[in-house]
Structures are given as C-alpha cells and as structure tokens.
Structure 1
C-alpha cells in the first residue's frame, strides 16, 4: 500500500489511460452525482490490498445507490472497475520487480485469487445495490403515475370529481377500480362525479369494466354521476345494448353536475 501511495500520480495516469471512455466523462460524472472517480478508485484499491471486505461491500452498496439515483451509465462503471483491476496488477508487477516477493508460484496464485475475488465481490455488491434501488425508484414512479392518472378531486366533504383523460386500457381500468373503491372508503365519498369528456374512444370491454366499477361504487354506498359522454361512446353503447341509467345518474356536462351537487355562494 505504501508503494501505491508513493506512486499515486502514476496510478491515476495509468487508470485514465486504461479507461478511455470514462476519462472523457470524469468531470460530468462529478458534476451530476458528486462522484469523485479517482479518489474512489484509491479507496477501493486500499480495501482490496488490505482485504477489508466489510467496508468494501458497504462502499459498493453506497455507490450502487448513487449511480441508480442519478442514472449514471453502468458501462462507465464497469469500464472503470476493470481499469482499476488492470492498473492494480500493473503496479503489483512493478512492485515485484523491486522487491522480488512473488518468486514462489503459490504466493502469486494466492494473491491473484484474493485480488480478483475482491474486485468481483465489489462488482456483485454494486450491481445488486444498483438494481434494488432502481427497482424502488421505478415502483415509486409507477405509483406517482398511477395517482396522477386517477386524480380524485374533493369538491365538498362528501363529493369528489374524477376527470378521466386520454385512452383507457384494461391495465389503467384496474388502477381506476382500485383507486376509486379505496378513496370512497378513505374519504367517505357519498357522490362521485366521473367526467368522461376527456375520453374520445372506449372499447366495449372497457365500458363493461366501467359498469362493474359503478356496481362497486354503489355497494360502497356512494352515488355515481357520469358526465361528458361523447357521441362516439354513446353510439358504441347503443349498438352493444349497454346502458348506465340503472347504475349512475347521467349529466351532460361537468358544470351541470357541479351546479346540481354543490352549494354555490
């Protein structure tokens, strides 16, 4: 370790020559994620040389979280770690030429096993940490998108509006069903106004699913009001012999429903 510290500048020069792609991105990575690749390389080398596996794994896990948080390129990380591996072996070779400590082949192969095993453990710990944290971020983003796609808006303590916009497929309809029934129970909603004016097209299967949601709404003791039905959807319902009349009250527009169910000063 003393030999490596004494040759710190040469180690860094070797690292940068080994990792050509990373060399061009060092400043950018530092700016984006506050990751100092050169200092981190010296830290990892010390853990490897001193066989400090516990601190090395903790360091790898922390690095994984940082790279996942800032979506830093994984190929750069892999190139950088392999550059560290090659650089360390180059300087072990220089150390051997000075000290002649590896004249016994068993000593050399034991060292080879220890060094490469620690590098592999670091990579494994890093990628597991990266993957786990990335999954958590993706799940959080999915939950956010789901909440934004089903925006139940309280109008009065007992009345809420659910404006639906864009296309609706089976996956989104399942989300709507879960969110509607959950919020009715949570907010004690007595009147739920579903505004469909932002829905241009709705397949018959989706309309059937919507009717089941209206049944569930009724079972929860909540009155459903549908507004903004477009002619295209109404035509499709007529041809499929479907009707909302016995499941919800129908209003032409959201404004009409708000006038009927709100006390306006």
Structure 2
C-alpha cells in the first residue's frame, strides 16, 4: 500500500490525499467491524469510514471541542439504534492504530529527523484526544440510553393505568396482571392526577384481570380509595375474584364504606349510565318547565 506525498504537505493534507490507503489499512485492522459497515450504515445511517476520517482530522489538528461534540453525536446515534458497543470500541482502536501507521509513514516520506521529544508530545496529544472521544462517546451513549429506557418505562406505566372516559364524569380503570409496589404507586399518582384533570365524579375500577395482590399492596389500595373519596370522586369496584376476596378477609382488609361494590363491569356501567341519563332527562324536564312558567 503506497502513500502519496508532496513536498511541504501537512499531516492534514496527507491524510485527506491518502484517504483510500488509510481506509484500506483501517478495514484490515478492524476485522470484526469490516463486515458490519454496510449493515450499520443501513440501520443507523452511519458512515463509519467517513466518520473515521473526521475523527483523525480533528485529532491531528488538536480540535478538542470538535472531538467532544462529535463523540456526543455518535453516542446518541449508536444508542438510538442499539448498535453494538463492542464494534465501536474495536473500530476506534483500529482508527488509533491506523493513524499511527499513517503518521509514521508521513515522517519517513517527509524526511523529518528523529525527534524523541516531538514524538512523545505528539503521542500524548493524539492518544489523549482519541481517549477523549471514547470517553465522550460512552458517556453520551449511556446517558441517552438511560433516557430512552426511562421514557419507555413511563410509557409502559401509563399504558398499565388506562383511565377510559365513558361520559364527561364517569371513567373506567381496568387493571390487568399483577400489582406490585412500583405499579400501585404509579396507579395512585395517575388516578389522583386524572381525577383532578378530568373532573371525574365516578371512577369504576375493574379488578377482574388482577392475578395477584400482596397484603401490603392491598393496604395501599385501600388508602388509594380514601384518596379518591377526598378528591370528591366515588370509587366503584367491580370484578373482585373469590381468591382476592379470601385473601383480603384473611388479612382483615375490608372496603367498609370506602367504595361501592358491583359484581361485574357491565352491571356498573348499566347502573351509572342509566342514572346519568335519568339525571340529564330530569334536568332537561326542569329546564323546560321553568321556560313554560
């Protein structure tokens, strides 16, 4: 592999002019990444070879701010598309080795005298900037990945507490699966917030899909019913399973006057929707009567 060199050529110009031999050497160094380059380009719209040249040019020019900014951008891109970190680490280390080969050949071609002090200074600066890139990349990757996970967790939590309006004042909360400590906290926060936001007067909580509720969770659930009542909303419980009732009875946990109990969701809907229609009809009749008078 021959490098092209002209008298007086700077290191930056040397790397730009020798992009092809540089890339060939780099691909030979990064054995595991070589076959993944096209896949990474398709998945994440990331051109590894083009980005490699950007990194080495920033490094040889000592552009620390550009290195840090580029590392942050790369970290977000790799996290967003869940690309393999092992490939990135191998790729950057291959870039480091290839750059040193290019710098060695540049000095040979330019006829520069051997200067140990210059070498150690160059080595320190270049390796420090490449390490800066790696550090910035992994911090950016981890931070963005954590933000993605947190956003997905919040989305799942919101989906696990689906408050469904059926009328302007009546809503349904169907609960499915297991209720643990984390989920009961989410239910409490979401329910109280939505009661205030939607001005819910009746919240029908259907528990027919609940698989298991631990004793301490049942206690928190009873406290939630108190909170719902304090918000001026009537809690209605439907779909209690026999095993859930037995467990609560064994622990002396009873609803008392905390909530209205209905056998099924359909029974509750029939009753509350009928009552609401009656209220609306009575209000309309009273309004018409007042107009007649």
Range of TM-score over shorter length: over 0.9
| Aligned pairs (5 A) from 1:25-174 | 25-101=36-112, 103-174=114-185
Secondary structure in 1 matching 2:236: strand
Change (3 A) 1:4 1:83: same
Greater mean alpha carbon deviation, residues 150-159 or residues 95-104? 95-104
Structure 1 contact 200–232 (Cα < 8 Å) conserved? no
Q: State the TM-score, normalized to the length of structure 2.
A: 0.87
Report the CA distance between 1:94 and its aligned residue.
0.9
2:259 to 227, 248, 252: 248
CA shift in 2, pair 1:102/1:146, >3 Å: farther
Q: Counterparts of 2:52 and 2:113 in 1: how far apart (Å)? A: 25
Deviation digits for residues 228-248 of structure 1 (CA, Å, limit 9, x no counterpart): 000111111222222113100
Gaps of 5+ in 1: none
Structure showing greater Rg:
2
Q: How much has 1:138 moved relative to structure 2?
A: 1.1
Structure 2: 5+ residue stretches without partners: 1-11, 278-293
* Separation (CA, whole Å) in 2 of partners of 1:217 and 1:6: 72
What is the CA–CA distance in structure 1 between the aligned matches of 2:228 and 2:67, rounded to whole Å? Answer: 54
Give the corresponding residue for 2:246: 235
Q: Secondary structure at the match of 1:262?
A: helix
SS in 2 for 1:250: strand
**Inter-partner Cα distance in structure 1 for 2:76 and 2:180:** 34
CA distance in 2 between counterparts of 1:31 and 1:249 reads 57
Superposed displacement of residue 203, structure 1: 2.1
SS state at 1:163 partner: strand
Q: What secondary structure is seen at the aligned counterpart in 1 of 2:172?
A: strand
Instruction: Name the counterpart of 2:195.
Output: 184
| Count of residues in correspondence between the two structures | 265
Bigger CA drift: 239-248 or 117-126?
Answer: 239-248
Equivalents in 1 of 2:113, 2:267: separation in Å? 88
The Cα shift of 1:110 comes to: 0.8
